[in-house]
Amino acid sequence: MPRPDASQKDFNEPSGPTAENAKINEEAASIASYIADMSDEMAKLASRCDMPMLCYFLNLARAEADMRARELGGYPIDRSA
């Protein structure tokens, strides 16, 4: 008997996005956007307090969260204000 291969698709699974998957992605995008917003605020605080390394890492976290939010269908946050 052949061993199951992880690359083989289960043909009983529905293809395409389901309503449940869409809701999960929407929630994840919302959380990622929130993390991006909070990371941006903390990076600004770190910059004002002369903490360049902390500011750098917080900006990395912001960029990662923004990217993930866009991948999941969220909208980028306008931080120009």
pTM of the model: 0.68
Q: What is the pLDDT of residue 18?
A: 86
Q: What is the pLDDT of residue 5?
A: 56
User: Residue 8: what residue type?
Assistant: Q
| R_g of the chain computed on alpha carbons | 19
Q: List pLDDT tens digits, range 3-34.
A: 555 555 554 555 555 888 888 889 999 999 99
Q: List pLDDT tens digits, range 25-72.
A: 899 999 999 999 999 999 999 999 999 999 999 999 999 999 999 999
User: Residue 6: what residue type?
Assistant: A
Q: What is the largest CA-CA distance in the chain?
A: 65
